[in-house]
Structure 1
Amino acid sequence: MNKLTLLTSSFMLAASFSLFSLPIAAQELTAADRERIEARKNAKTTLPGERIGRVITKALEFYNDEKLDEAIAVLLDARPSGDFDTAFLNRFLGNIYAFKDVNQAIKHLDMAVKPDVLGFGDQSAALKLLADLQIQEGQFRAAIESYRRWMRFTGENDPDAYLRIANAHYQMGEFDKVVPAADNAIRFSKEPNKNHYMIKMGALYESRRYPQTVAVVETMVQLFPEEKTYWVYLGNFYTLVEDYSKSLSAFQIAYSQGFLDKESDFRALGQMYANNNIPYKAASIYEKYMKSGVIKKDRTMLAAIASNYQAAREFAKAAEYYGELAKLTNEADAYRRQGMALMSIQRYPAAITAFEAALSRDADRPGSIHLSILEAYFYQGKLKEAYAALQNAKRDPSTSRQTRSWESYIKDRAKTKGISL
């Protein structure tokens, strides 16, 4: 074990995400405050009594030999007299217990700082360690007060303390108090700190203050442009305020810089192209990363590729992917859509095959599919087959009106060509 040092707690800042507003104002020191702090710093050092001094020396010997239980026993057996000796002893107990029993450490550190009689350095260190241990143990309310006491005592506006206060409020779900604390952390930090912005972003997001969330992330990508996840956050958050143009721009920047690497990233990029009425780019992005294995080949993705190619009037590609969708799902509607795409590029025999596959799978509104088959035969000049499809279409009441106009037209064309129906 190394020299006795202050412990600091480790804590996670959620990259998940709340707010309202208020009361963690940064402390503003008056002249009287500064005078008080300087007087405490410059005060004559007080030493423990001779008896307590011997106890401390003995405890430190045990501690340096890594005999914590013996060190604690020596300190607990001591009988200090006066507030200073008692506080001094409790501070040592708190420091040693910090390695063994955090709850006991908190108890003794609290007793050490309450009388406010320790020297400036010892009181400051004990207050800070107390706050760190409290937040480590999930005693968030107490930790917040201890950090505030420490900053009031030292006169510091410490950005790390404000960050931990923000985190404590976040863990308690007090999102209205997170942002002011985070703002103070940002204000008093010498260099921009990613964690300060992350917790502020999270709090704003949780409180559904989406425009403000966007503004924070816009700042984040300016300060930390190399952080690829921030660009993805920005693209996603723009969608929350329905600014799809800026969302696409953010994703395009991230893509061009090689910042996108997950399936969800490429799906989002494709969706933004689609939302901005650029279906060909949407389909090609989906297709590229599905073929490479980054995006899972499933019903949703095949449908997205096919429909975007259809919207881009790339009917051959649309037909290809509707065909893959049909094989995967065996759904009548996929075959019907494949047939319609094939009709658009005048691949009538293949279209008929797809339509018949749809009918064999109990497609909805079969009359409309028979009408599509009718058209495919008609445009090939196969009037007898077209007329047979017409008879099938008649059986569906939903298409009976359309069949009447087609029937007279086919009969007239057959009569002109001398074809017996």
Structure 2
Amino acid sequence: MMKKFLLLLALAIPSGVVHAELTQFTANKVQRAHNLQQEDKLPEAIELLAGLNPAKAYDKAFVKRMLGVFYWQQGSIKPAIDNLADAVDSGLLKDEQAWTTQRMLADILLTDAQYKRALPHYYQLTKNIPEQQQPESLWLRIAQSHYQLGEWQPVLKAVQVYQRYVKQPDVPILSMKLGAQLQLERWKSALPTLQSLIALEPDHLAWWQQMAGLQLRLGRTKNALETLALAKRQGVALTQQNLTTLAQLYAQQGIPERAAIIYSQLDGANNDAELMSMQAMYWQQAKEWDHAISAWKIAAKLDDRHRWALAQLLLQEGQFDQALAQLDKVKQKASKAEVELARVQAYYKMKDYEKAIIHAKQANNIQSSATSKSWIKYLNQMREMDG
């Protein structure tokens, strides 16, 4: 915007030229002020012009315009706005001179966060744009002003006009468009905007996150999975939460082994019992029993609560001695009867019916159940047959 101001300043006061409609007295003073400004004597130039009180209305408007420019150069925003506004409101400035003055006023109001005051000027400027001026820059500032005011529908209208002039918009305008679409809950319309932003800034994590988030909101879980997976493949630095979501999406899509791999890549995965247990669970869903057992072993070392899951899987895989060793370490009170029944199963598979029946009776004493009674009856029969 600073470069735009400098261009406008150059248009505002052509070097060595004084407007022909000025009276001779005012023209002389204006030329003198211009020379002072060129000599970096801005305070003296302002003092000279501020002391003028031209009788002719056009002279007054011209001086106000010049004063506004000088005050802006000095960094005095309020008097710059006041003088430029007087010049514009006079209606006496001609053609492009009038247009550039109003443009300066609008831009200064925008930089001073006076968006409501700036907007009418920008809209007026769009009605008669000089040939060498860029209409898209006006619509960009209109969009910016509405965006700052939280006026989302006008933002989208301004962006739409902007895109008539610029077929491949850049990140700032697309960001405003996206913000307005999200505020208006236009989820589907926001997806193409995010695609454009990702194409422009493929390493910007927020665009990928918002894309996946919208796809999930719309129930497009497969698309969300593809989005996060593509971001990961392209080296985007996904957060731990992003990776967790990706793992969950893999599991939902029936690819638990990928979910397990993602969990194994999380920060501190090997030192976190819950992360290890999730990894183990997904390996188990994938029927990758060896991986699952290895993961459950680490989880159990970190937290005894996971020994029960480890013992059950060891039992399933016929590793009875290891299963019994883990069952000895299970601490949960609620599962005591279940632990005894698991011992029954292990000893039964090992054909040690004496120990099996001892634990079946212990299970029944802890919590009498049809299962424990059935085991006792069956094991007694087996023992009698062996005898």
What is the TM-score with the length of structure 1 in the denominator? 0.76
Q: Which residue of 2 aligns with 1:203?
A: 180
Alpha-carbon contact 1:87-1:112 (below 8 Å) kept: yes
Q: Within 1, Cα distance between the matches of 2:84 and 2:137?
A: 21
Alpha-carbon contact 1:316-1:345 (below 8 Å) kept: no
RMSD, aligned α-carbons: 3.4
Q: Secondary structure at the match of 2:84?
A: helix
Alpha-carbon contact 1:286-1:295 (below 8 Å) kept: yes
Q: Which residue of 1 aligns with 2:72?
A: 98
2:212 alignment partner AA: G
Taking a change above 3 Å as real, the CA distance of residues 406 and 153 of structure 1, as seen in their structure-2 partners, is same
Point out the more displaced range, 384-393 or 334-343.
Answer: 384-393
- Cα distance, 1:77 vs. partner? 1.6
Map 1:63-102 → 2, pairs under 5 A: 63-99=37-73, 100-102=75-77
Matched, 1:357 2:334: no
Matched, 1:148 2:114: no
- Cα distance, 1:300 vs. partner? 5.2
Q: Within 1, Cα distance between the matches of 2:295 and 2:365?
A: 31
- Cα distance, 1:344 vs. partner? 3.1
Q: Which residue of 1 aligns with 2:222?
A: 245
Larger-Rg structure: 2
Q: Which residue of 2 aligns with 1:57?
A: 31
> CA offsets per residue over residues 338-375 of structure 1, 9 Å max, x none?
3333333222333334344332xx45444333333332
Alignment partner for residue 150 of structure 2, among 168, 173, 188?
Answer: 173
Map 1:7-46 → 2, pairs under 5 A: 46=20
Any unmatched runs of 5+ in structure 2? 10-18
Matched, 1:317 2:294: no
Q: Which residue of 2 aligns with 1:18?
A: none
Taking a change above 3 Å as real, the CA distance of residues 295 and 145 of structure 1, as seen in their structure-2 partners, is farther
Taking a change above 3 Å as real, the CA distance of residues 323 and 84 of structure 1, as seen in their structure-2 partners, is farther
> CA offsets per residue over residues 40-60 of structure 1, 9 Å max, x none?
xxxxx6543333333333333
- Cα distance, 1:88 vs. partner? 1.8
Identity %: 23
Alpha-carbon contact 1:306-1:322 (below 8 Å) kept: yes
Q: Within 2, Cα distance between the matches of 1:250 and 1:348?
A: 44
Map 1:19-418 → 2, pairs under 5 A: 46-99=20-73, 100-154=75-129, 158-218=135-195, 224=200, 229=205, 230-231=207-208, 233-259=210-236, 262-287=239-264, 289-290=265-266, 293=267, 298=272, 301-328=275-302, 330=303, 332=305, 334-359=306-331, 362-397=332-367, 400-418=369-387
Q: Within 2, Cα distance between the matches of 1:377 and 1:70?
A: 104
Any unmatched runs of 5+ in structure 1? 9-44
Alpha-carbon contact 1:228-1:254 (below 8 Å) kept: no
Q: Within 2, Cα distance between the matches of 1:392 and 1:58?
A: 110
More helix by share: 2
- Cα distance, 1:280 vs. partner? 0.6
> CA offsets per residue over residues 260-313 of structure 1, 9 Å max, x none?
5554554443333223121111211332x33xx598964553343222212111
Q: Which has the higher contact order (CA 8 A, sep 6+)?
A: 1
Q: Within 2, Cα distance between the matches of 1:72 and 1:110?
A: 17
